[in-house]
Amino acid sequence: MNAFLGLGSNLGDREQNLCAALAELGKIPGMKILQTASFYDTAPVGYAEQPNFLNTAARIETSLTAHALLSAAQDVEKKLGRAETFRWGPRLIDIDILAYGDEIIDTEDLHVPHLELPRRGFVLEPLCEIAPDFKDARGGQTYRELFAAYRSIPADNNCVQTNTPEDTAVLAQRIAKQLRPGAVVALNGELGAGKTTFARALVKSLGNTARVVSPTFAILNIYPGQIPVYHFDFYRLRGAADVADIGGAEFIPSSGGITLIEWAEKIPEILPENYWEINIDVLDEQGRCFKIRRY
């Protein structure tokens, strides 16, 4: 039986953890690793206040049943020192069964193909590298098609509803993959809509490990990283003695960075001709509606 495994680590020496896990998996009787993907540095999903993950995927051939394979993977996790953690929390090593041939398995302890597969770019990208034309048993789409759908951004002003922190993180990752150095993103929404929360997820998805705080009490927060991020609140900027005196248009960075602006009433004149506008509407305690436009 051909199967696919997803591996991730965000504690300790992440690369060594993945290599050790693959080595241990290769020792299991009745299992052979046929191919492994590159290692991908990815922002965490669901709980943002933790280090980035390093993820990969492996195609294997096995004579083990799906549940025996699950048990073997869990034994490897324990052998390498994985400790119990909360959902979406940090982990030394994580091994998931992503697909088991063309079978669909839904039991209390195992769901294959993985139920969240279409929404997990950190899984789809390595799968696309090693098996782009393999079809997901649940939806019949290839991994290439699933990854393309994951990366796509809805048409202008169509509502993208999020109901959990994981949904928001996934949307941020999709947008981050579309942003290029020099991009400007204007976030709009009432107090408490989640502008800074979304900014935090976006900064993480851009490869920046800094802790993102509200710009309300600072004119400008700068987060250096793989792509520098300049984060400020237009209300705070507008409330300064004179916009020109504190930089004005110079707050828009050079082509090497991304600017995130939180604002509430209208787009300030300092925005360039080309930018992203994201309006966040509150639906209920957790639910949000994101409307995205690109100018």
Judge contact between 113 and 134, C-beta under 8 A. no
Question: What is the structure's pLDDT at 209?
Answer: 78
pLDDT at position 46, please?
A: 63
29 shares a domain with 116:
yes
Residue 221: the pLDDT is 83
CA 158 to chain centre: 21
**pLDDT below 50 — which residues of the chain?**
240-249
Task: Indicate which CATH number applies to the domain containing 48.
Answer: 3.30.70.560
Active site residue 96: yes
Task: Say which residues have a Cβ less than 8 Å from residue 172's Cβ, sequence separation at least 6.
Answer: 43, 198, 201, 202, 204, 205
Catalytic-role residue among 14, 59, 91, 120: 91
What proportion of the chain, given as a percentage, has pLDDT over 70?
83
What is the reported pLDDT for 75?
A: 94
Same-domain check for residues 36 and 52:
yes
* Token pair belonging to 98: 């992503």
Q: Of 106, 130, 150, which residue constitutes the final position of a domain?
A: 150
Give the model's pLDDT for residue 100. Answer: 96
My answer on whether 10 and 139 are in the same domain is yes
pTM: 0.65
Tell me if residue 82 is catalytic. yes
167 and 98, same domain (yes or no): no
Catalytic option among 14, 59, 82, 200: 82
E-assigned strands of 169-265?
184-188, 221-223, 229-233, 258-263
Same domain, 142 and 164: no
Q: Are residues 202 and 226 in the same domain?
A: yes
Specify the pLDDT at position 174.
85
How much is the pLDDT for 95? 95
| Single-letter residue type at 285 | E
Same domain? 183 vs 274: yes
Active-site option among 14, 75, 87, 94: 94
Query: Could you tell me the residue range of the domain that residue 42 belongs to?
Result: 2-150
Q: Are residues 143 and 161 in the same domain?
A: no
CA 134, CA 215: separation in Å to the nearest integer? 45
Are residues 146 and 187 both part of a single domain?
A: no
CATH of the domain at 168: 3.40.50.300
Do 90 and 177 lie in a common domain? no
> In 3D, which of 99, 89, 90, 30 has the Cα closest to residue 58?
99
CA atoms within 13 A on the CB side of 245: 5
How far is residue 222's CA from residue 228's CA, in Å, rounded to a whole number? Answer: 7
pLDDT of residue 105: 96
Of 114, 134, 150, the position where a domain reaches its end is: 150
Pick the catalytic residue from 59, 96, 174, 233: 96
Q: Which two tokens stand for residue 176?
A: 């981050």
Are both 27 and 96 inside the same structural domain? yes
Provide the mean pLDDT of the chain. 84
180 among known catalytic residues: no
Could you say which of 113, 131, 150 is where a domain stops?
150
d(CA 197, CA 167): 12
Quick one: 171 and 254 in the same domain?
yes
| Number of domains present in the structure of the chain | 2
